[in-house]
Amino acid sequence: MPTSVRASGPARLIGLVLAIVIVGGSLLVAVPTAKAALTSFDVTPGQYTGTYTYVPTEVITWTITGDTAGELFDMAVIIRSTGQVTQSYDDIAMPPSLTYSTSYEVDTLLPDGNDYRIEVGDSNWVTSGRVCCRYDFQNFAVQTYSLSVEVNRLAYLGGDEVIVTWSANNLKDGSLAPDGYGQLWVYDERGPANTLITPSVHVYSEASGSYTFSLPSVLDPAWDGIVETWFNDSTSNPERYQRDFTYFELDYLGMIMDVTYGQYPPGGIVTADVMTFVTDNQANPNSWDPPEPEVDVDISVWEIPSPGSPVEQPQYGAQNLVTDLHGELTYVFQLDGDILDGADFEVRANASRGLWNWEERDTFSVSAAAGLTMVLTFNRNEYQAGDQLTVTANVAGEGTAALTYIFVVRDSTSTGCPGGGLLATDTRPENVYSYTLPANFNGRVCVYVTADDGEGNRVSSAREFSVVFGWLLVNADRQEYTAGLTPPQRITITWEKKSDLMTNPDYFYEVWDDDGNLVTSGTTGSGTSFQFAVPDPASAQYSFQVIASQDGRTIRGSVSVSEITGFFLTATFDKNSYAPGDTMRVSYRIVARGDEALPSTFHLTYGLLSGSFGGAYRTTATGSDQGTLTYVVPTGIDEGDELFQIVESNTGAMTVEVVRVSGSFSLWGAAVGDFPIVAILIVLWLLVITLVMWRRGALGGGMGAPKAPEAAPPARQEPVQTSAATPMTVTCRTCGSPIEITTSKRPIEVMCPKCGGTEVVA
């Protein structure tokens, strides 16, 4: 059975003496080691460190594997320096599985350090005083917290302020360790005797804190700085302790000053960028050197006549500028509009920080033709191998000087634009250039154009294109499919080739599922379509890739089709129109578009979206996919057509319907069933008016002829004498229209079809 021994104070003293004896004796006697009866010994790393370092109370687990069931083993957890056994495992029998696991909880009295070991040996290993025979072992360490120390910058100048921050955190949960006792040193690389703080040791007790100090103004930049600290749980005889280091550079003040452009027009806006660094090479600092913040910078601008001495132009300069925390500042000024064309200027930036200073200069010139801009246009937006690429350079802002155009075409497939191998170049006065792409080129090309006015003004622009052997335009006869049908649903894939190079390719296809697994593949020869039967069960999506291949050249195209998913949400309303304050009763139903299962619960949010009532929503949770929602129309809502929205969060389904909100006159909102009362009244009124007009003959007929107004009878008309031999016409003496006679009967009275007047024919 496992037994445990805790090391007390006197025991540690005895252990120390034993350690001296053991160490001395070990010079003469080696510990016997055997491997025959143990095939493996595995210790699980610590859960908080991932290494063989463990925190107090953490459980260490290990497993031994043998080759003989019933064989006995001894195991022990020991203190390496003294050989003291803190816990032993005597006569452990190997089970029939030939694998045995056990564990050990790290004693809270074990101090931090790497002075520990787990050993496994034969059945006499512990009882014999660990003389013979040990099979295997694993050293391990105990650690309670980690200690880190940092400085606020990577590099400093003499006189700079340094902030040192430390933190001791428990490995188990990241919380701060209890306060204890710590010391902090800061010195240069020559050793602690060359301290950079006063006093040379800073003492602290907080598990987390910071210490701020200023470096000496005069120091040797040849030696970098070192911060060293340790933190114990007590002033003396600590059980818990950690140490950490960090470094920082000590160097010189450096600066980069850059005027954005080499030429500006009269009245132009000049920009000067300043960056200050801590560098070991003042004459040639790098932009990746650590920045030096809050450096004082004075800027002056000098005109450089030829011949003659520089003349300062104070209207352009500035003093007492300060770089930001990243050591940067940008200074902008405007040139006078009457500066002579061709004038040269120099910008001087002087940086100072304490005892350190440095100056940098950059130049620019004034040109009336400065400020060129260029826009490139091309004959196509995409190209295939063998196409002619034509570029036109459109330049604005040039002066009277003639422009020279430099056209460069590069293979940017692996480098990106504007780099890559040179394919073609041409220099000409014309702004148009054509280049025939190689017939065997597949990749990317970069077209780079420069315009030069011969007076020191240049402008450049570039554009990159893909070049292919052609295109395959792949399509599917459906965008979604339904799984599980009998027979299975089939997807037809078709394609169209667009290529001048591949005249008679063979076509291949691949079908991939949503997880990137190949489902099927094949060839159609010269055919331009294939069908795919949706499997059951089906993937959520299938990607179809088609490949055209001829003479070692290929082009590809693809399309994806997804399974029908999602849900429909429908809503019906109990009325067509509502007044403010009315209760709306809305019936909803949620159905799946495909075979996707409905969720067990539904969370509905619904309400009117009108203007100021956009937040007047209601929510309900239910287990039913259909039901009735109630909603009170807010008072004060705008009249007219409004939007009513229902959203279900578990399915993502949503519907937006139009409802009408009426005014204060109740008839406008009243309805019988689905028919508004106002509409019914209007229809009835129209029916009554129509009936009245019909009865009066106003519509061309009716139940009786309208009663003629009383008037004096007309004068008797003499009959019209006509022949009865054949049908004929007579003239109406009232309106002059012809009246056709279709019978030979005489006498007869006929009526004029136009005015209704009558004539007697004899």
Task: Determine the residue type at 159.
Answer: G
Which of these three, 444, 468, 492, is where a domain ends? 468
Q: Is residue 64 part of a domain?
A: yes
Instruction: Tally the residues of the chain.
Output: 762
Q: What is the pLDDT of residue 615?
A: 53
Q: Is residue 260 part of a domain?
A: yes
Neighbours of 639 (CB within 10 A): 15
Confidence grade of residue 361 (pLDDT, cut at 50, 70, 90): very high
Q: Are residues 499 and 455 in the same domain?
A: no
- Strand, coil or helix: 680: helix
For residue 682, report the phi and psi dihedrals to the nearest 5 degrees.
Answer: -65, -40
Give the pair of three-digit tokens for residue 92.
Answer: 């452990």
Give the pair of three-digit tokens for residue 578.
Answer: 């509502």
For residue 412, report the phi and psi dihedrals to the nearest 5 degrees.
Answer: -100, 20
**Alpha-carbon gap, residue 697 to 575, rounded angstroms:** 41
Q: Are residues 20 and 137 in the same domain?
A: yes
Contact 274, 322 (CB under 8 A): no
Q: Are residues 171 and 113 in the same domain?
A: no
Among 583, 584, 561, 446, CA closest to 514: 561
Q: What is the pLDDT of residue 752?
A: 81
Which of these three, 664, 685, 713, is where a domain ends? 664
Using a 10 angstrom Cβ sphere, with 0-12 exposed, 13-18 middle and 19 or more buried, the burial of residue 678 is middle
Query: Which residues are bridge partners to 245 per DSSP?
Result: 228
Q: Is residue 669 part of a domain?
A: no
Q: What pairing do the DSSP bridges indicate for beta strands 626-632 and 602-608?
A: unpaired
Using a 10 angstrom Cβ sphere, with 0-12 exposed, 13-18 middle and 19 or more buried, the burial of residue 283 is exposed
Q: Are residues 446 and 578 in the same domain?
A: no
Q: Is residue 681 part of a domain?
A: no
Q: Are residues 11 and 114 in the same domain?
A: yes
pLDDT-wise least confident of 286-290, 431-435, 488-492, 512-516: 286-290
**Alpha-carbon gap, residue 582 to 576, rounded angstroms:** 12
**pLDDT (mean) for 642-663:** 90
Q: What is the pLDDT of residue 664?
A: 53
Q: Is residue 296 part of a domain?
A: yes
Q: Are residues 631 and 647 in the same domain?
A: yes
Q: Is residue 703 part of a domain?
A: no
**pLDDT (mean) for 302-325:** 94
Task: Determine the residue type at 269.
Answer: I
Confidence grade of residue 265 (pLDDT, cut at 50, 70, 90): confident
Confidence grade of residue 703 (pLDDT, cut at 50, 70, 90): very low
Domain count, the chain: 7
Query: Which residues are bridge partners to 554 per DSSP?
Result: 549
| Mean pLDDT for all residues in the chain | 86
Q: Are residues 453 and 489 in the same domain?
A: no
Query: Which residues are bridge partners to 565 per DSSP?
Result: none
Range of the domain at 537: 471-563
Residue 611 scores a pLDDT above 60 = no
Q: What is the pLDDT of residue 754?
A: 72
- Strand, coil or helix: 689: helix
Q: What is the pLDDT of residue 702?
A: 47
Confidence grade of residue 709 (pLDDT, cut at 50, 70, 90): very low
Q: Are residues 494 and 464 in the same domain?
A: no
**Exposure letters 627-636 (e unless 16+ CB within 10 A, then b):** eebebebeee
CATH number at 257 reads 2.60.40.1930
Give tens-digit pLDDT for 101-146: 999 999 999 999 999 999 999 988 887 888 888 899 999 999 999 9
Give the pair of three-digit tokens for residue 485.
Answer: 């049908």
CA atoms within 13 A on the CB side of 217: 4
Residue 588 scores a pLDDT above 50 = yes
Q: Is residue 354 part of a domain?
A: yes
**Alpha-carbon gap, residue 756 to 735, rounded angstroms:** 9
Confidence grade of residue 698 (pLDDT, cut at 50, 70, 90): low
Task: Determine the residue type at 173.
Answer: D
**Exposure letters 696-725 (e unless 16+ CB within 10 A, then b):** eeeeeeeeeeeeeeeeeeeeeeeebebeee
Q: Are residues 338 and 295 in the same domain?
A: yes
Q: Are residues 377 and 321 in the same domain?
A: no
Residue 362 scores a pLDDT above 60 = yes
Contacts with 662 (C-beta within 8 Å, 6 or more apart), sequence order: 577, 578, 579, 639, 668, 669
Give tens-digit pLDDT for 9-38: 333 333 333 333 333 333 333 455 555 578
Residue 337 scores a pLDDT above 80 = yes
Among 255, 248, 325, CA closest to 285: 255
Contact 164, 149 (CB under 8 A): yes
Contact 254, 358 (CB under 8 A): yes
Give the pair of three-digit tokens for residue 111.
Answer: 């101090």
Cα end-to-end span (Å), the chain: 150
Q: Is residue 261 part of a domain?
A: yes
Q: Are residues 523 and 604 in the same domain?
A: no
**Alpha-carbon gap, residue 275 to 656, rounded angstroms:** 57
- Residue 128's alpha-carbon distances to 89, 121, 122, 131, in angstroms, are 13, 11, 10, 6
Which of these three, 451, 468, 485, is where a domain ends? 468
Q: Are residues 265 and 331 in the same domain?
A: yes
In the chain, the largest separation of any two C-alpha atoms, in whole Å, equals: 169
Query: Which residues are bridge partners to 377 per DSSP?
Result: 392
**Alpha-carbon gap, residue 473 to 231, rounded angstroms:** 69
**pLDDT (mean) for 172-181:** 95
Provide DSSP, 608-637: E--GGGTT-EEEEEES-SEEEEEEEPPTTP
Which stretch, 320-324, 679-683, 738-742, 757-761, has highest mean pLDDT?
A: 320-324
Contact 445, 411 (CB under 8 A): yes
Confidence grade of residue 670 (pLDDT, cut at 50, 70, 90): low
Q: What is the pLDDT of residue 14?
A: 30
Using a 10 angstrom Cβ sphere, with 0-12 exposed, 13-18 middle and 19 or more buried, the burial of residue 323 is buried
Task: Determine the residue type at 561.
Answer: V
Computed from CA positions of residues 322, 325, 326, 332, in that sequence, does the dihedral angle turn out positive or negative?
negative
Give the pair of three-digit tokens for residue 24.
Answer: 């001395």
